[in-house]
Structure 1
Amino acid sequence: MLYPELFKQLEAVRWNMDRDIPWDSFDAARLSEDQARTIKMNAITEWAALPATEMFLRDNRDDSDFSAFMSVWFFEEQKHSLVLMEYLRRFRPDLVPTEAELHEVRFDFDPAPVLETLMLHFCGEIRLNHWYRRAAQWHTEPVIKAIYQTLARDEARHGGAYLRYMKRAMTRFGDEARAAFAKVGVLMASARRTAQPLHPTNLHVNSQLFPRDTIQSRLPDPEWLEHWLDQQIQFDAVWENKVVERILHNMSLLMERSFASVQELNRFRKEMSAKLAAAACNPQAVV
């Protein structure tokens, strides 16, 4: 099992909201109205770990190890929402999300393939790590800068935990896992070609609720994410390339094969798909 080891690792570096956040360094003159409002939107977005956890537990009922790890991931992600709300409670109480606003992002996700979902959230952690690092640079108020730096480190560690479960999946499911991971990897590393940010909170997940079936679409300001990325933290091509490089680097380590570009990863995806198709046509050939 991976859960006991991951629990110890994450427990050893867990930060304390009272001791490790420099609340006394707050400088009201360095917090703009726009910056304060983005904190509210991020607090609500982080609350979406609740429906994501419900999805993971539902779809991984046969995997008690991964489901147990969700107890750690869920705790830490909800803590992200809580620390952002605590910041607002202390310094901008008028912007603290209401319980109704938080509950609005709790809805059922349609069942999805487990392997693809695992890879999707692994890539999501990489992307969020980079978004928060950029947000820490954009913000000018010292306390919220420190909070975003803290959250970014958590997201990186979560990505590493997901990677451990991906490695385990490859030992269990072989080429099926390789094909699933490559498929989602190509999608998530191709954000420059899409009209919207590629992150789990911005993907459609409930066909009956379409088009209000993304986390972002249920925020008080559904257009916030694009504005935050493009106009505020300015998550430009340089930063997007950092995300792509991390995805490709980790896929190279995972597959023990070098991927210098999305195109190379896509060729690998096609190779795995063809291999699975051939095995399906000739199951006796599978060793």
Structure 2
Amino acid sequence: MLYPELFKSLEQVRWNLEHDIPWDQFDGSKLTDEQAQTIRMNAITEWSALPATEMFLRDNRGDSDFCAFMSVWFFEEQKHSLVLMEYLRRFRPELVPTEEELHNVRFEFDPAPALETLMMHFCGEIRLNHWYRCAAEWHTEPVIKQIYKIISQDEARHGGAYLRYMKKALNDVGDSARAAFAKIGVLMASARRTEKPLHPTNLHVNQSLFPNDTVQSRLPDPEWLERWLDNQIKFDSEWEKKVVDRILHNMSLLFERTFGTVQDLNRYRKEIVTRLAAVQAQAA
């Protein structure tokens, strides 16, 4: 069981909302209206950890270890939303999200294969870590710069915890897990080939609500994410390469094989799929 160890390790580095945020260093002259609006949108987006947790608990009902870890993940993710809202409450109270706006990003996700969802959120943590690091560089006000640095570090730790559960899945179910992780790894590392940012909050997750079934589509400004990335924090090809490299590095560690490119990972995926098909045919 991983939960006790992960709880202890995350507890040791947990930051305090009152004492670890340098609120007294706020410099209002360095916070623009444009920047404040992006903080508002990120606060609402982070609130979507609520429906994500409900999804994880539903789809992993048979894995009490992972569901127990959700108590830690959910707490820390909701604290990201809370600290961003606290920043606005102190310095731009007119921009604090309403309860209705927060509740609007809570909707049911369709059931999905648990291992593929785990891998998708692992890649999502890597991407968020880089988005927030980039945002910290873009912002000019010192307190929010520090907040984004702090929550980016949380996202990296969460990715590490997910990786532990992925390693556990390899031991438990072998090639079925390899196939699921490689499939989603190829997808999430191929963002440069798509027109939209590849992150769980921007993927369609409820067929009955389509097209209003992504977290981003349910924000007060559904077009915000692309504008934030492309025109504001300027998450460019150099940053994207860092995300892809980090995904491939972790896949290399997980599968004990070196993947220098997405194409390398895709070839491995095909190898695993072929091996699974052969086993199934033999069993039949």
1:113 aligns with 2:110: no
Deviation at 1:54, TM superposition (A): 0.1
Normalised to the residue count of structure 2, the TM-score between the two structures is: 1.00
Partner SS state of residue 159, structure 2: helix
* CA distance in structure 2 between the partners assigned to 1:206 and 1:88 by the alignment: 31
1:102-141 aligned at under 5 Å gives the runs: 102-141=102-141
Counterpart in 2 of 1:277?
277
1:9 aligns with 2:9: yes
1:1-287 aligned at under 5 Å gives the runs: 1-283=1-283
Query: Unmatched 5+ residue regions in structure 1?
Result: none
Normalised to the residue count of structure 1, the TM-score between the two structures is: 0.99
Query: Residues 12-67 of structure 1: CA distance to partner in whole angstroms, max 9, x if unpaired?
Result: 00000000000000000000011000000000000000000000000001000000
Partner SS state of residue 196, structure 2: coil
* CA distance in structure 1 between the partners assigned to 2:90 and 2:282 by the alignment: 64
* CA distance in structure 2 between the partners assigned to 1:279 and 1:199 by the alignment: 33
Partner SS state of residue 122, structure 1: helix
Report % sequence identity: 76
Q: CA RMSD in A?
A: 0.5
| One-letter amino acid of the structure 2 residue matched with residue 43 of structure 1 | A
Deviation >6 Å, runs of 4+: none
Deviation at 1:119, TM superposition (A): 0.3
Query: Unmatched 5+ residue regions in structure 2?
Result: none
Partner SS state of residue 271, structure 2: helix
Deviation at 1:279, TM superposition (A): 1.0
| One-letter amino acid of the structure 2 residue matched with residue 180 of structure 1 | A
* CA distance in structure 2 between the partners assigned to 1:131 and 1:266 by the alignment: 25
* CA distance in structure 2 between the partners assigned to 1:86 and 1:96 by the alignment: 8
| One-letter amino acid of the structure 1 residue matched with residue 266 of structure 2 | N
* CA distance in structure 1 between the partners assigned to 2:60 and 2:237 by the alignment: 36
Deviation at 1:270, TM superposition (A): 0.6
Deviation at 1:246, TM superposition (A): 0.2
* CA distance in structure 1 between the partners assigned to 2:270 and 2:95 by the alignment: 48
Deviation at 1:283, TM superposition (A): 1.8
